[in-house]
């Protein structure tokens, strides 16, 4: 027979998880915009989906893109 002191509320846990994920998504998007507003969408696509630089249309060189990507990770680390 199951025991426990707390009541189970799966709906609350799911809502709580959704809110936490939204906050994390906002934080990631803000860090990308802060790192380089011109290519923040490409940075997000590269980081979240694994799309390489060569398969995206990026208005800067490869070295500059990866410098912006490194800056994104630095900003994200500081924000967390």
pLDDT digit string (tens) for 36-80?
A: 999 999 999 999 999 999 999 999 999 999 999 999 999 999 988
pLDDT digit string (tens) for 8-30?
A: 788 888 989 999 999 999 999 99
Domain locations in the chain? 36-80
Closest CA to 47 of 23, 75, 17: 75
Closest CA to 68 of 49, 21, 9, 45: 45
């Amino acid at each position: 027979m199951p025991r426990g002191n707390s009541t189970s509320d799966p709906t609350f846990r799911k809502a709580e998880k959704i809110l936490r994920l939204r906050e994390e998504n906002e934080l990631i998007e803000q860090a990308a915009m802060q790192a380089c507003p011109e290519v923040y969408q490409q940075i997000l696509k590269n980081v979240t989906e694994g799309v390489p630089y060569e398969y995206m249309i990026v208005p800067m060189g490869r070295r500059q893109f990866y410098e912006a990507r490194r800056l994104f990770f630095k900003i994200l680390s500081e924000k967390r």
